[in-house]
């Protein structure tokens, strides 16, 4: 019986070695979970990594085009939209969902289109399905232009509620989940 284990003396825990090993594995597991969460946030471009989102998504690739003999006359709405200065209105973008980073992503998208976004934040109501746009009186002229620009990425609807004249923003965009 040479393989007998020494009996523990009083005051020494029986499982001290296994507890130390378990603690090491627990710390390694915690570090791996944190690294995994950060990698996921970076990959999905959410949270603090939203500002690192590449603008490649909003850059359209050139496509071949064909010439046709027919000529079309631009509609008055298209002509009016072409003469508008997109940087004129102060736009506030609010996240209307529980998904992090949507307002920041919409801000970058709008700025690549030439708009001025003065503020971003979260909407009071966080269950918007579609993106809603509200205008201050006098800025409704941007409705068709803004709706056209946003429709390439978002499902857009115009709210019947107008912004107050005292509001700091001229246009408010609440980004929805679709």
- In this prediction, residue 20 has a pLDDT band, given cuts at 50, 70 and 90, of confident
Full domain range(s) for residue 32: 16-44
Q: Higher confidence at residue 143 or residue 2?
A: 143
> 86 with 170, same domain?
yes
% of the chain exceeding 70 in pLDDT: 71
Total count of domains within the chain: 2
**Model pLDDT, residue 28:** 94
Gap between the terminal Cα atoms of the chain: 73
Note whether 94 and 158 are same-domain residues: yes
Question: In this structure, is residue 66 part of a structural domain?
Answer: no
Q: How far apart are CA 164 and CA 124, in angstroms?
A: 17
For 48-145, list the strands marked E by DSSP: 90-95, 116-122, 131-135
**pLDDT tens digit sequence for 68-126:** 444 445 555 444 556 888 888 999 999 999 999 999 999 999 999 999 999 999 998 88
CATH number of the domain that 107 lies in? 3.30.70.2390
* The pLDDT of residue 121: 92
Percentages (nearest 5) of helix, strand, coil residues in the chain: 40, 15, 45
- The answer to the question of residue 102 being in a domain is yes
pLDDT at residue 143 greater than cutoff 50: yes
Question: Are 90 and 154 found together in one domain?
Answer: yes
CB 130 within 8 A of CB 178: yes
């Amino acid at each position: 019986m040479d393989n007998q284990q020494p009996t523990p003396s009083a005051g020494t825990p029986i499982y001290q070695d296994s507890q130390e090993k378990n603690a090491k594995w627990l710390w390694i597991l915690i570090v791996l979970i944190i690294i995994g969460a950060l990698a996921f946030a970076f990959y999905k471009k959410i949270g603090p990594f939203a500002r690192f989102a590449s603008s490649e998504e909003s850059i359209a690739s050139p496509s071949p085009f064909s010439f046709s003999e027919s000529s079309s006359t631009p509609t008055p709405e298209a002509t009016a939209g072409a003469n508008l200065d997109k940087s004129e209105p102060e736009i506030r973008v609010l996240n209307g969902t529980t998904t992090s980073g949507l307002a920041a992503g919409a801000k970058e998208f709008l700025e690549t289109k030439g708009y001025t976004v003065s503020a971003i934040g979260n909407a009071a109501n966080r269950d918007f399905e579609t993106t809603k746009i509200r205008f201050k009186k006098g800025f409704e002229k941007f409705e068709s232009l803004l709706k056209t620009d946003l429709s390439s990425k978002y499902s857009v609807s115009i709210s019947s509620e107008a912004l107050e004249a005292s509001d700091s923003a001229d246009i408010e965009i609440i980004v929805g989940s679709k």
